[in-house]
Amino acid sequence: MKLELGKIMIDDIRYGDITEVKDKVLYVNNDELTSIVLEDERIKSAKIELARPGESVRITPVKDVLQPRVKVSGHGTNFPGVIGNKVKQVGKGRTHVLENTAVVTVGKIMGFQEGIIDMSGIGSEYTPFSKTLNVCLVLEPIDNIEPHAYETAAREAGLKVTNYIGETARNLSPDTLETFETKGFIDQANQYPDLPKVGYVCMLQSQGLLHDTYVYGVDAKNIIPTIMSPTEFMDGAVISGNCVASCDKIPTYLHQNDPIIEDLYKKHGKELNFMGVIITNENVFLADKERCSDAVAKLAKMMCLDGVIISEEGYGNPDTDLMMNCKKVEQEGIRTVLITDEFPGRDGKSESLADAVKEADALVSCGQGNLVITMPPMDKVIGTLEDIETMIGGYDGSLKADGSIEAEIQIIISATSAFGCNKLSARMY
């Protein structure tokens, strides 16, 4: 599959009479965007707030982050299976991107695992979304709504607004145009026969109870492992729908801009032959873990891979899925590298991972989530601070009288993401 990705560089975001892009500025109209959201009777109110890198702004509780894109040519729509109910395969043709921008959904806490984005200060150093121009969609649900219904409404609102903003890029001329292609297995293997054949196993959070990911609109807990083209991710085929621990969270933006996929493409044809992506889910029950890890190993063998990179979302229970995938793929004679984060406790004396196997002898750490920092007060809060102390990483006394927050970096969105989008790692001594 071949996809052209045209990037339109955006230097600023402002309010405007209409939602449009002009002279590298994204203008957004509050009434246009909120009217789309308020068609859903589960949402009582909505408003648009803007946040730029370096500003004294705190955004919380954050639910999802998405990047505005639009399908210019090829099959399907952005976010297939969700937007317009058009379930057509994507990953081909051309897609335009509003680069440097993001839509951030914000609102009352629905679980306990939404988190924080600080646009400046020490907290901003731990999240990639302090560097994006953020159009924040602040939502208030109707009274007495059940958490799963609220999650669905908030997720769909974010997708609709992101898609609407993305349409502004349809007829623009991209500043840059990149082409990404992954061929069928035989053709791809023959294209670079002397390079190691490498695949990527992307584990999707799917443990339920607000821990879900969607593939072409289908809850990933209902799928079995399958093979996808990397370009399908770029067209929004995989979207976030979970309230997993904030630091681990893989928002939709990161599925659209998966750093592992991007790096594998950069090395494709030079150091390795990138053969494609295997997606699998993270399961609750042992039988499901066995079934899916068996399938991952089978698919990796069928693809004739020499090596795979395996990433996960979340920690604790998913560590077992990670290790099962590692062990079974290695037993097929395929080398693995794991990407994960660690939770050794504040004193660093606990086990960093909940599970381990001897085959896991090559692992990249994205840092440890129990690190405690103090984030200074901000001049403006988009959302509310009322739930800070019940968020994961927070505790009684986290929110200080002056508005500063002392908490574990678990509370910061994507601070230790196993996609490697952060700046943290670890060393062995």
Query: pLDDT tens digits for 125-177?
Result: 999 999 999 999 999 999 999 988 998 999 999 999 999 999 999 999 999 99
Per-residue pLDDT tens digits for 395-424: 999 999 999 999 999 999 999 999 988 888
- Catalytic entry in 243, 292, 366, 421: 243
Mean pLDDT of 56-76: 94
Q: What are phi and psi of 256, to 5 degrees?
A: -70, -30
Per-residue pLDDT at 76: 81
Is pLDDT at 429 greater than 70 in this prediction?
no
Percent of the chain residues past pLDDT 90, beyond the cut: 84
Helices (H), 309-411: 317-331
Confidence label for 428 from pLDDT (cuts 50, 70 and 90): low
Is 243 annotated in the active site? yes
How far is residue 150's CA from residue 56's CA, in Å, rounded to a whole number?
Answer: 29
Residue 107 has pLDDT above 70, yes or no: yes
Rounded CA separation 379/386 (Å): 16
CB 180 within 8 A of CB 209: no
AA identity, residue 173: S
The string of DSSP letters for 375-393 reads EPP-SEEEE-STTGGGSBT
Report d(CA 52, CA 266) in Å as an integer. Answer: 29
- What 8-state DSSP symbol labels residue 81? T
Q: Which residues of 288-308 are buried (b: 16+ CB within 10 A; e: fewer)?
A: bbeebbebbbebbeebebbbb
* Residue 85 reports pLDDT greater than 60: no
Q: What is the DSSP letter of 334?
A: -
Sequence-distant (≥ 6) Cβ neighbours of residue 132 within 8 angstroms: 53, 65, 100, 101, 102, 253
Per-residue pLDDT band for 199 (boundaries 50, 70, 90) equals very high
Cβ within 8 Å of residue 258, ≥6 positions away: 202, 230, 233, 419
Q: How many angstroms separate the CA atoms of 29 and 402, rounded?
A: 33
What percent of the chain is modeled with pLDDT above 70? 98
Res. 297 pLDDT band, cuts 50 70 90: very high
Q: CB-based contacts of 196: which residues, under 8 Å, 6+ apart? A: 272, 273, 306, 307
Give residue 210's pLDDT.
Answer: 80
Task: State the pTM of this model.
Answer: 0.95
Over 80: is that where the pLDDT of 361 sits? yes
Q: Express each pLDDT in 311-342 by its tens digit.
A: 999 888 899 999 999 999 999 999 999 999 99
- Kindly give the pairing relationship between strand 115-118 and strand 57-66: antiparallel
Instruction: Say what angle helices 147-166 and 30-37 make with each other, to 10 degrees.
Output: 140
Task: Return the residue matching tokens 């009274």.
Answer: 143
